[in-house]
Amino acid sequence: MSNLVNSINLNKTPNHIAIIMDGNGRWAKGKGMQRVFGHRNALTAVREAVDGASDIGTKYITLYAFSTENWNRPKLEVDALMSLLISSLKKELPDFQKNGIRVNSIGNIEQLPSNAQKVLLNVINQTKHNTTITLTFALSYGAREEIVNAIKNISKKVVNKEIDIEKIDEKIINNHLYTFNLPDVDLMIRTSGEQRISNFLLWQMAYAELYFTEVLWPDFRKEHLFNAIIDYQNRERRFGKTSEQIDKNE
C-alpha cells in the first residue's frame, strides 16, 4: 500500500471525492446472509475511505448513504439501515473528534426518523469546528429533488423581487442547493461494477472524473481508493479547453 501512496502526486489530489457505496446486498448474498449483514459490514470501508482521503490531503468526501429511492426498499431493511445510522454515528463520534472530521449531511433530512435526525444533528454540531476533512452523508438524497427544490426557492424569490430573473447564474443556483457549502466534485467512485450515477450530485458532478470498480463496497479499502486516485491523476482534465491550453497553464 505504501507503494501506491508513493505513486500519488500530493499536489494534484482531488479536493472533493464522492462515493456511491454499492454492493452491500450482493456481498451478503454471496456469503449466504441477509442484505442487512452487508450494510453492517460496510462500516470498515467507510473508515478506510475517509482515512485514506485524509491521508492524501483531500478536504471533502461525500458518501451516498441513503437515496430518496431507497425508501421503497422493504421496511425491515429500511428500519435496519436507520438503526445502523444511529448506532454508527454514536460509536464513531469520538474518532471523528480525534481525527478532525467535520460531519455534514445533505438531503431531505426531515424524512428521517426523529431519533435519527436528533443523533445526526448532534454529531454535526459536535464536530462543526473540526478542520481536517469534511465528511458529508447524503441521506434521503436525490439530485433531481434537490434541483427541483432549488428552482422552487429561486422562483419564490423572483416573485418576491428578492432576485432579478436576469441575474440568475450558476452561483445563485449553487447557493440554493443542499451542497451550497461544498465545492464541486472532482472524482466520483462507484463500487460493485455498476456504471450509473443513480441520481447522485448531478449538478455538482458536471466535470467530475468517473471511476468504476468491481470491488463490492464492504471489501473496499485504502488501496482501492489510492488506485482510483492514481487513475484520476493519469487523466487530462480539460474543462472544455484544449490540451495545448492546459499545458500552457501548468
Over the stretch 53-79, which tens digit does the pLDDT of each residue have?
A: 999 999 999 999 999 999 999 999 999
Residue 22 annotated to the active site: yes
What residue ranges in 68-169 does DSSP mark as E strands? Answer: 101-106, 133-141
Known binding site for substrate: residues? 23-27, 35, 39, 67-69, 71, 73, 190, 196-198
Report the C-alpha gap between 209 and 25 in whole angstroms: 26
The total number of structural domains in the chain stands at 1
Residue 163 has pLDDT above 70, yes or no: yes
SS3 105: strand
- Arithmetic mean of pLDDT over the chain: 93
Which pLDDT belongs to residue 241?
Answer: 59
- Strands 16-20 and 101-106 turn out to be unpaired
Within a domain: residue 153? no
Question: pLDDT tens-digit profile of 92-138?
Answer: 999 999 999 999 999 999 999 999 999 999 999 999 999 999 999 99
In a domain, 242, yes or no: yes
Is residue 162 situated within a structural domain? no
Q: Choosing from 70, 99, 130, 149, which is the catalytic residue?
A: 70
Query: What are 101's strand-pairing partners?
Result: 133
The set of cell numbers assigned to 20 is 456511491
Residue 46 located in a structural domain: yes
CB atoms within 10 A of CB 195: 8
pTM for this model (two decimals): 0.92
Query: Quick one: pLDDT band at residue 36, thresholds 50, 70, 90?
Result: confident
How confident is the model at residue 69, as a pLDDT? 95
Active site residue 95: no
pLDDT reading at 34 higher than 90: no
Q: How many CB atoms lie within 10 A of CB 39?
A: 22
Give the CATH number for residue 108.
Answer: 3.40.1180.10
What spatial distance separates the first Cα and last Cα of the chain, rounded to whole Å?
29
Report the distance separating Cα 72 and Cα 212, nearest Å: 25
- Report yes or no on 165 lying in a domain: no
pLDDT-derived band at 6, boundaries 50, 70, 90: confident
Residue 172 lies in a domain: no
Task: Let me know if residue 241 belongs to a domain.
Answer: yes
Residue 2 has pLDDT above 60, yes or no: no
Which residues form the domain of 12? 2-142+183-249
pLDDT for position 244? 57
As a whole number, mean pLDDT of residues 34-56 equals: 92
Residues of the binding site? 22-27, 35, 39, 67-69, 71, 73, 190, 196-198, 209
pLDDT of residue 148: 98
Domain assignment present for 195: yes
Binding-site residue ranges for Mg(2+): 22, 209
Give the rounded percent of residues in the chain with a pLDDT score beyond 70. 94
225 exposed, middle or buried (CB, 10 Å; 0-12, 13-18, 19+)? buried
pLDDT of residue 250 exceeding 90:
no
